[in-house]
Amino acid sequence: MMLCKVTGTIVATRKSETLRGQKILIVQPVDLAGSPGGREILALDTADAGTGDTVLIVQEGQAAAQLLRRNDVPVHSIVVAVVDGIDLPA
């Protein structure tokens, strides 16, 4: 899993039939302090996240297929949780 910040959404007038009705988000990997690091990623939203939310994503094709319970979905990354807070020991 990877911690990310949602920076936007993708609007597509045409996409794979297997993605119809699904929201695609643009997410930026962040460290535990919230500082950005790495390139932005496109991820399918299964957690009803929105711009500005901190989220957890799964970034493996097979794991994505298992979460969606479908093998025909052309997805590599999926948002699996919206993070409410991070508590680190002092």
64 bridge partner residues? none
Q: What is the pLDDT of residues 75-84, one digit of tens each?
A: 788 999 999 9
Domains of the chain: 2-82 (2.40.50.220)
Q: At 55, phi and psi to the nearest 5? A: -135, 165
- Contact indicator for 71, 58 with CB cutoff of 8 Å: no
For residue 20, what pLDDT is reported?
A: 75
Nearest to 55 by CA among 26, 20, 13: 26
Q: What is the pLDDT of residues 4-51, one digit of tens each?
A: 999 999 988 887 777 777 899 999 999 998 999 999 999 999 899 999
For residue 29, what pLDDT is reported?
A: 97
Q: What is the pLDDT of residues 38-63, one digit of tens each?
A: 999 999 998 999 999 999 998 766 66
